[in-house]
A and B are shown apart, each in its own frame.
Chain A
């Protein structure tokens, strides 16, 4: 069972982890308003955190925001690059979140098929068919 006595060891480990960190300004924002939560944003956020930890990525901050404004495409995450670029991924799930960590945040390749542009183009095609 977890106990308060464990906290001193956790404190020492966390301090060591913080000292080893390179820092950095990249940010991943998860939409967590009612629409996002109902669509599954919480498992997406937890998968991001877990994958970043497993892959030892320590220059990315994960945070949450309210409604991003396109409720029908939730869960939505936005990657904010240090140069100001913003990439919006839509209809996310935990597996897609892990893919964004591996392909985009680690290897620098945007997952084009998961972006809002790809989703909107596909919706347009379907509407025209």
Chain B
């Protein structure tokens, strides 16, 4: 995976496959703790404690078509590479919450990538799912709730091109505003060159 927005696309699809109709995603940067947190919560079918214990094993999957499941193990590896960790909480019938903690200033951390394009792909695939995205940095927050957007556009599906453009561009714009300042702070503090690809 080239960036964290692709990891998110992959992880969120696990929620979709689990039958979730509501998926909350939060991306939070905390420079004082040197942490970048990605959190995906869904109301899907959830996992049994047995499956939950084994789900970070790349040779464990719920699919019948093949015997590997790499999405979660790859994200776990990226977290641990940056001094962070991955945590999963799940309950059968209620849903699952995945929390990925990454070292914000770690040179090995992948760039955040383009969350707008990830959201566009998700909405194209199923415009009826209630995705909520929260982008957060100290003093700044952006929230986009597609359930609310649907109320404002009652007779237009969210995968209409004009709506897709608005969703993608809103996220790309806010991603720059919210994480741009954090990035400058990290670069000035550490001299890191991770600006590339932060979008």
Q: Are B120 and A46 in contact (CB under 8 A)?
A: yes
Identify B162's interface contact among A14, A35, A63, A67, CB under 8 A.
A14
User: Could you tell me the distance between the alpha carbons of A120 and B76 in the complex, rounded to whole angstroms?
Assistant: 34
Q: Are B173 and A13 in contact (CB under 8 A)?
A: no
- A30-65 toward B: CB 8 Å interface, digit per residue (1/0)? 001111011000110110010001000000001110
User: Could you tell me the distance between the alpha carbons of A71 and B148 in the complex, rounded to whole angstroms?
Assistant: 37
Q: Are A64 and B125 in contact (CB under 8 A)?
A: yes
From residue A9, how far is it (CB to closest CB) to chain B in Å?
Answer: 9
Say which size band chain B's interface belongs to: 20 to 34
Among A6, A10, A17, A62, residue most surrounded by chain B Cβ atoms (within 10 Å): A10
From residue B172, how far is it (CB to closest CB) to chain A in Å?
Answer: 9
Query: Which chain A residue lies CB-closest to B6?
Result: A37
Chain A CB within 8 A of B80 CB = no
Among A15, A17, A33, A53, residue most surrounded by chain B Cβ atoms (within 10 Å): A33
User: Could you tell me the distance between the alpha carbons of A26 and B117 in the complex, rounded to whole angstroms?
Assistant: 24
Q: Are A49 and B161 in contact (CB under 8 A)?
A: yes
User: Could you tell me the distance between the alpha carbons of A10 and B166 in the complex, rounded to whole angstroms?
Assistant: 8
Please report whether the interface of chain B is mostly helix, strand, loop or mixed according to DSSP: helix
Chain A CB within 8 A of B186 CB = no
Q: Are A38 and B1 in contact (CB under 8 A)?
A: yes
User: Could you tell me the distance between the alpha carbons of A76 and B124 in the complex, rounded to whole angstroms?
Assistant: 17
Stretch binding the partner chain, chosen from B23-31, B150-158, B187-195: B150-158
Q: Are A64 and B121 in contact (CB under 8 A)?
A: yes
Chain B CB within 8 A of A4 CB = yes
Q: Are B173 and A14 in contact (CB under 8 A)?
A: no
Q: Are A45 and B121 in contact (CB under 8 A)?
A: yes
- A78-107 toward B: CB 8 Å interface, digit per residue (1/0)? 000000000000000000000000000000
Q: Are B121 and A14 in contact (CB under 8 A)?
A: no
Identify B163's interface contact among A14, A62, A64, CB under 8 A.
A14
From residue B62, how far is it (CB to closest CB) to chain A in Å?
Answer: 11
Chain A CB within 8 A of B87 CB = no
Chain A CB within 8 A of B134 CB = no
Chain A CB within 8 A of B149 CB = yes
Chain A CB within 8 A of B48 CB = no
User: Could you tell me the distance between the alpha carbons of A32 and B14 in the complex, rounded to whole angstroms?
Assistant: 11
Q: Are A34 and B71 in contact (CB under 8 A)?
A: yes
Q: Are A42 and B6 in contact (CB under 8 A)?
A: yes
User: Could you tell me the distance between the alpha carbons of A37 and B117 in the complex, rounded to whole angstroms?
Assistant: 12
B70 / chain A contacts, CB cutoff of 8 Å:
34-35
**Interface hits, B40-94 → A, CB 8 Å:** 63, 65-66, 69-71, 74
Q: Are B152 and A7 in contact (CB under 8 A)?
A: yes
Q: Which B residues are closer than 8 A to A by beta carbons?
A: 1-2, 6, 9-10, 13, 17, 63, 65-66, 69-71, 74, 117-118, 120-121, 124-125, 149, 152-153, 155-156, 160-164, 166, 169-170, 173
Nearest 6 Cβ contacts at the A-B interface: A2-B170, A14-B160, A14-B156, A64-B125, A34-B71, A34-B70
